[in-house]
Every structure is written in structure tokens, then in C-alpha cells.
Amino acid sequence: MEMLAKMNKAEMEAKLANGAYVLFFTADWCPDCRFIKPAMPEIEAEFKEFTFIQVDRDENLDLCQELMVMGIPSFIVYRDGKEVARFVNKDRKTKAEVTAFLSAAK
């Protein structure tokens, strides 16, 4: 999974201008993020139509604020530079919950 470099919302939307992406917001210190991380390779394999990009919340704090991502782990789906779905809250997320979210976002 690619790691997003530090950037603002406009730069990120330009990067995501073509294609379907899932942004995975996380941080090393976050126990709920560590809970879902082992399932991410399987989730990526199941949803090959998306390019998954990991966003380090601490590295991209300004971007998270611009996107109103206050809780992690969180997921936002982008298509051709525009947000189309979000699963953003501070709750622990299971593989089944993330899979259901991405299925609905296809």
C-alpha cells in the first residue's frame, strides 16, 4: 500500500484526479488502527478496482483537518478526484465493516 506524502487537500485531489482510490487514515500509536492493519492486505486483494493509499494522520494533520477526519482508523473513497463515500469515526473497525463499506462504495 502506497503511503501518502505530506500534502494539502488540493494537492491530494490533483493526485487522485483519475481512478478510484481508498484513503486509509491511520497512525502508528493507534490501537484500533493496529487492529485493522493485519486485514488490509486481504481487503486490498478483494477490492482490486481501488488503489489503496495509507495516510499517516500525524504526518498529514492539516489534511485530516481539511477533510474533517477527526477519528482513526477511517476510510474515504475517491473517484476521479472527488469524494464519493466515507467511513469516518473514532470507532474500531472490523474487516466485515470495512468490506461492507467498500462494497457499498463500488
pLDDT of residue 71: 92
Residue 64 annotated to the active site: no
pLDDT tens-digit profile of 8-58? 999 999 999 999 999 999 999 999 999 999 999 999 999 999 999 999 999
Domains of the chain: 2-105 (3.40.30.10)
pLDDT at 90 over 90: no
Catalytic residue from among 16, 30, 40, 98: 30
Could you tell me if 76 and 88 are in contact, meaning their C-beta atoms sit under 8 angstroms apart?
A: yes
Per-residue confidence band for 94, with pLDDT thresholds at 50, 70 and 90: very high
* Whether the Cβ atoms of residue 81 and residue 13 lie closer than 8 Å to each other: yes
* Predicted structure pTM score: 0.94
- Which element (helix H / strand E) includes 23? strand 20-26
Clarify whether 33 is annotated catalytic.
yes
